[in-house]
Structure 1
Amino acid sequence: MSLLLHLQQQLSTLSRYHSSPSKIVVAYSAGIDSHVLLHALWQLRERHEFQLSAIYIHHGLSVSASIWQQHCADVCADLDVDFQTAKVTVDLSTGKGLEAQARQVRYAKLVELAPHGSVIMLAQHQDDQLETVLLQLKRGAGPKGLSGMAEYFSRTKTASSQQQVHFFRPLLDITQAQIHAYAQEHQLRWHEDDSNQNTDFERNFIRHNISPMLMQRWPHFAKSVSRSARLCAQQQLLLDETTREKLDNLRTQKDILSINGLLALSEPWRIQVVRLWLDERNIISPSQAILTQLSSQLLTAADDANPIIRWQNWQFRRFENGLYVIPLTKEIIPYIGSLTLSSPIELPNKFGILSLCTNEVSHKQSNVLPVENIEQYPISVEFGGFSRRFTPQDAHHSKPLKQWFKHWRIPPWERSSVVIICQQSNVVGLLIKGVFYPSKSTRVGHTQKCAKSVTPYFIKYQSNLE
């Protein structure tokens, strides 16, 4: 079957996942694979009635990147195809491999730039799938890893949005030889990435040293591996259906799982449920060894224990009967700072800013903390020291802060970020997740009641998101 006919069938297949897309975007790299995909879709766009565009992501990792970018722009201009480009930065300090990090930032930018309702086409082919499965086999992957690259998948547009961006790989059954034949037939020009020859990269080592030997011995090896990957993917879908039912039964609140419910599962099911839970939140799952530690070190720990399991930028924590997964954050060291009219305080870990204002400035603010007599009793902003006593406005007596935190069911890892606002040794209010909690002694309506000679003041909180 010709590449063009295959692609035409794939466009019909796409309707199984997505209503016929009116916009198709090609992730264009200037290489032969994405150029062939772009050109073939360009031939089919009128017949299938879709708008075609292309996006080039400039990683800045090669001195030739700008040349490739211009080549893509020229090709798209010749084809009268809309073209976008964007630069990204690959942060190598994360400890991830160069390939993995570049892929992550590339997909993130594609998701950001994709028009609403579009499908992004990726040009990976059958030989790429063979390399992917061999890499996963080398890493000891299970069925999900051995499924290789998915034909279709989606990513959430933003953390606060439910809008999905869809990706489709229509060439997974097409060989590299077929792609080259199409390029030669249509006299296409492309650029080769010099790094593709560097066998220090695992994928390139397989491409140049392993795959040719396997294909020479078994000419249909890539096709067989592709079929196995598809079967693994089907089995994984069935497994995910059952796992999702178990996962839904374990949710106690948003993003919290029941520890007792997890312990009632067998170890393999427990690990499977946690993996799916993390995958739903776009969190890279830890190793099998770490997931095994989850049962022995965290789920079965004493109720008053505070175990922590960390990997990459994430951590598992427990509180009461709940399992949490939260980002790693810089530890907040207890300190005391003075808040004055001329000196706002920037809170640690980019939590926001506290400022002291007069009534004229802040009376329209919906979430402010009124204070008095700041000339005589300066305002201090503190972290830590949970043994001091506090009386909330709706309480009849005071308790140490640590008892209120327990009463309010604030997890231990959130307590260090509670802002304690004091005058002298008295706690006049707390700031918890951007919300003020005044003390009983704080007069919320004091601006109308105080004498004209007393200047009313407010503490205002501003989030970094504002």
Structure 2
Amino acid sequence: MSSDHSSQNLSVLSDASQSNADHSSLQAKQFSLASDAMKNTLPVMQTLEHWLNSHKPLKGCQQPLYIAYSGGMDSSVLLHALHQLIYVQSDLSKQFSLTVLHINHNLQAEANDWQQFCQQQVRQLSVAFQTKKLQLDSFKRQGIEAVARKARYQALTEMVASDFKARGSLKSLAAPVLLFAHHQRDQAETVLLNLFRGAGVPGMSGMPESRALECYECLNDNLILHRPLLKVSYQAMLDYAKSVELSFIEDPSNQDNQFRRNWLRNNLLPDIEKLWPDVQQKVSDSAGHISEANLLLDKMAQSGLESSCFSFDFIELRALEEVDWIEQKNIIRYWLSVFFPGVVLSKKHYQWLYVLVFSLQGDNRVQNAAYKMRSYELRWQYQRLYILPKWFTEHNEQAAKDYCRGIEWASIAKLKSNIDSSGLQGRVINPGYTFKFNVVHAKAGLVCKPIAHLDEGAVNKKALKNFFQQHRIPPWLRVFWPVLQDDEGRILAVLGCQNCLQNLSPTEKSQVEPRTLEMSYLQILQILQLR
């Protein structure tokens, strides 16, 4: 073999060795990158894997999961990670189903493009997708963020209800769950914003990891909202998105610092983090501690409420020598959270109430008073605090005639006679009143109407007044108080008051076994759309 040939072979071997070395180096680099990528996805994946394991449905059932998907980074991470865990890394499709919900707020020029982008992203995953376009009303007073948030929650609930109802024939479905992608930084922002607004303990608790939304088409009438990533840091979310090379929408309005949350995120938090780098985690931890304190306050309030006189629209307050004001405030707060979620009284409202409760100690008790809020009106009557929708307080006797023409008894019977009140059902003061009338004169097609429809002289006013006072029926309900009429127009009875009709014969009044139909206080409120 010639030296030139040997040299050539050595050269080839050298090139091959270099190639193998380069390939090994490339493999090592790729492995390192893959390891880094896997490491960067762990906080999100482990958190969601734990959440799925703790929310597995009963054997033979499937848990419908609905993801609120804006197309932004947060919800894109939630969608991608859940899809990986349910359909790719392991087959959990028999236990969980994914449906993606997108709300088009129609507030920006790019809104329709974002909707199309979301649809394309979801199509690549072969997951069910639904969208809804909103037309928001004026938001000058409340602010665009508050109006959009309220409309978004309502739209998402309606979409889940519609989809769940369409699948209602599947008895193997568990109660639906709506998932939001809020994370640790979102929680820190919420707590700080509430702090600056002067919030109480519930506000300083921040966003709960889960809560029930009213959804009458859903199982048990509830839709459960979960935030499984609430304890995951923003950086971990961002690392996940970069590691798996997610495409997502960057909303330019997030840089608009006229919105307080944006200003806090873009200016205040970065400055605080210069001194306290882990401020987001610390604020989130504090929210958790305060949330535990809030649970204890709720337990105390529930115990106090159960020993009080209350119903779906009122709570009876007591003199300060019986129950101190701090405890009564806590009970009022809890009562509102059960029956009027989202209604929070301010310092001014409680000051107004304190004056009324303080007056119970002396001889100059305040008999009635009112405080107008934005959407509701507080009323004080019979030592009770009532809360009424603003639109209802504008009704008068003529409105009663126009507003409530008549409801067939069959429709009333279908109304709920009680509601789940977080363990308070059965303890709620929900007096049932009865119609008692002569069976002989009762025709088919019974109709319930407000008493304002009766002709002058048809009612024994003295008996009716005594009935209202004895049962403490507030004045604003009296013109709507139900009477029973047959299909020939004959007035048969006034609800709860046997002696209120003038045109009853002695035989009818003395009848031993009249026909009886029951109607609950809640059903009355439902007819008037007060519950």
Normalising by structure 1, report the TM-score.
0.75
Change (3 A) 1:56 1:318: same
The 5 Å alignment of 1:64-463 reads 64-92=110-138, 95-114=141-160, 115=164, 117-158=175-216, 162-260=220-318, 264-281=322-339, 282-297=341-356, 300=359, 305-328=367-390, 329-333=392-396, 335=398, 347-348=401-402, 350-352=403-405, 364-367=444-447, 391-392=459-460, 399=462, 402-403=465-466, 405-407=468-470, 409-417=472-480, 439-441=501-503
**Does structure 1 conserve the Cα–Cα contact (< 8 Å) formed by 2:41 and 2:239?**
no
Change (3 A) 1:54 1:90: same
Alpha-carbon distance, 1:123 to partner = 0.9
**Does structure 2 conserve the Cα–Cα contact (< 8 Å) formed by 1:120 and 1:168?**
yes
Distance 1:160 1:187 in 2: 36
- 2:46 maps to what in 1? 8
Change (3 A) 1:324 1:263: farther
Distance 2:155 2:141 in 1: 21
Distance 2:367 2:49 in 1: 55
**Does structure 2 conserve the Cα–Cα contact (< 8 Å) formed by 1:258 and 1:321?**
yes
Change (3 A) 1:439 1:94: farther
The more displaced of 185-194 and 409-418 is 409-418
**Does structure 2 conserve the Cα–Cα contact (< 8 Å) formed by 1:52 and 1:82?**
yes
Distance 1:166 1:120 in 2: 6
Q: Which of 63, 74, 80 pairs up with 1:22? A: 63
Deviations 1:383-418 (A, max 9, x none): 9xxxx75545xxxxx638645543553211223445
Change (3 A) 1:436 1:354: farther
Change (3 A) 1:431 1:124: farther
- 2:518 maps to what in 1? none
Distance 1:22 1:193 in 2: 32
Alpha-carbon distance, 1:58 to partner = 1.8
Deviations 1:292-329 (A, max 9, x none): 21121367366672211232222222333433222222
Alpha-carbon distance, 1:33 to partner = 0.8
Distance 1:408 1:235 in 2: 38
Secondary structure, aligned partner of 2:187: helix
Q: How many equivalent pairs are there?
A: 407
Alpha-carbon distance, 1:2 to partner = 4.3
**Does structure 1 conserve the Cα–Cα contact (< 8 Å) formed by 2:184 and 2:284?**
yes
Q: Please, which runs of 5 or more residues in structure 2 have no aligned partner?
A: 1-38, 165-173, 409-441, 485-489, 506-526
Supply the AA of the counterpart residue of 1:61.
Answer: L
Supply the AA of the counterpart residue of 2:186.
Answer: D
Supply the AA of the counterpart residue of 1:411.
Answer: P
Alpha-carbon distance, 1:57 to partner = 1.2
Q: Which of 46, 51, 56 pairs up with 2:102? A: 56
Q: Please, which runs of 5 or more residues in structure 1 have no aligned partner?
A: 336-344, 356-361, 370-379, 393-397, 422-427, 444-462
Alpha-carbon distance, 1:36 to partner = 1.0
The structure in which a higher percent of residues are helix is 2
The more displaced of 144-153 and 85-94 is 85-94
**Does structure 2 conserve the Cα–Cα contact (< 8 Å) formed by 1:390 and 1:401?**
no
Alpha-carbon distance, 1:45 to partner = 0.8
Distance 2:41 2:463 in 1: 72
Secondary structure, aligned partner of 1:260: coil
Kindly, what percent of the aligned residue pairs are identical?
29
Alpha-carbon distance, 1:234 to partner = 1.3
Change (3 A) 1:51 1:261: farther
Distance 2:55 2:151 in 1: 25
Q: Which of 12, 29, 32 pairs up with 2:73? A: 32
Change (3 A) 1:141 1:31: same
Supply the AA of the counterpart residue of 2:377.
Answer: Q
The structure in which a higher percent of residues are strand is 1
**Over aligned residue pairs, what C-alpha RMSD do you find?**
3.8
Distance 2:140 2:358 in 1: 29
Q: Which of 71, 80, 83 pairs up with 1:42? A: 83
Supply the AA of the counterpart residue of 1:412.
Answer: P
Secondary structure, aligned partner of 2:264: helix
The more displaced of 186-195 and 399-408 is 399-408
Deviations 1:60-80 (A, max 9, x none): 222222211111111111101
Change (3 A) 1:277 1:62: same
Change (3 A) 1:256 1:19: farther
Alpha-carbon distance, 1:175 to partner = 2.5
Alpha-carbon distance, 1:283 to partner = 4.1
The more displaced of 313-322 and 98-107 is 313-322
Normalising by structure 2, report the TM-score.
0.67
**Does structure 1 conserve the Cα–Cα contact (< 8 Å) formed by 2:72 and 2:250?**
yes
